[in-house]
């Protein structure tokens, strides 16, 4: 009997160590992604935030801490109701947006930025004009969520409506948010969105000329083709 208890204890210990290792690896990737948003110009200072889901725990960047100062000991984790389960630093003020996405989609990672081109476009239109077929990779025409104060349930609700059948949207007078099955995918979608906004701003800056836009049918066709893009597997 004692041997059975030891075996059970060893099994639980191995599971806990494996879970701890998964969290540590996810946190390292989250920090690297957050730092990338700064080095590649999508974020200034501590604006923007990044999260990744590990089981029922959401690891998220803490509020007001420069990303280059984050260490493995700074891990911050909450459950899907927002209760803190890991770390002592306070989670990002934009936690409601992140949790809203995890509760309503199959997302495993979320990236939110204040990217300059995307933020500029968010002040001009209600939907990013179809300037490039990469909008198809985000589910269709990119919508702009109406403005609401940062960190509020109202902003999270506006964002969810804009994300219907989409994996990214603009936040009016605020920035971008995108999600994916991995941190790399969420980041790439964010970067693509800001790039499309930059292209549209450049095209519309030419005096006396208006950019040619894609039709919805052209976008749908491109979106279907992109489903098979890349290497098998």
Residues serving a catalytic function are 94
| Whole-Å CA distances, 105 to 110, 165, 167, 203 | 11, 10, 9, 34
Determine the Cα–Cα distance for residues 139 and 158; give it in Å rounded to an integer: 18
How many helices and strands, by DSSP H and E, does the chain display?
Answer: 6, 8
Q: Locate 24 and state its tokens.
A: 């540590």
Nearest to 109 by CA among 180, 61, 12, 45: 180
Residue 54 φ/ψ, nearest 5 degrees? -125, 105
Determine the Cα–Cα distance for residues 120 and 49; give it in Å rounded to an integer: 19
């Amino acid at each position: 009997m004692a041997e059975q208890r030891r075996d059970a204890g060893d099994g639980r210990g191995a599971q806990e160590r494996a879970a701890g290792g998964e969290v540590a690896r996810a946190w390292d990737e989250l920090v690297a992604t957050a730092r990338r948003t700064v080095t590649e110009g999508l974020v200034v200072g501590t604006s923007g935030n990044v999260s990744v889901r590990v089981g029922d725990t959401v690891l998220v960047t803490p509020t007001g801490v420069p990303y280059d100062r984050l260490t493995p000991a700074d891990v911050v984790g909450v459950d899907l109701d927002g209760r803190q389960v890991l770390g002592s630093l306070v989670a990002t003020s934009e936690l409601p947006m992140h949790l809203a996405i995890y509760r309503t989609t199959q997302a495993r990672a979320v990236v939110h930025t204040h990217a300059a081109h995307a933020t500029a476009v968010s002040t001009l239109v209600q939907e990013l004009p179809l300037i490039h077929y990469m909008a198809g990779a985000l589910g269709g025409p990119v919508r702009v969520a109406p403005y609401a104060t940062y960190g509020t349930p109202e902003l999270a609700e506006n964002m969810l409506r804009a994300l219907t059948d989409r994996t990214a949207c603009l936040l009016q007078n605020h920035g971008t948010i995108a999600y994916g099955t991995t941190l790399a995918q969420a980041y790439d979608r964010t970067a693509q969105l800001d790039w499309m906004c930059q292209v549209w701003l450049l095209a519309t800056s030419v005096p006396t000329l208006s950019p040619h836009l894609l039709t919805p049918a052209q976008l749908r066709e491109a979106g279907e083709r992109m489903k098979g893009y890349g290497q098998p597997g």
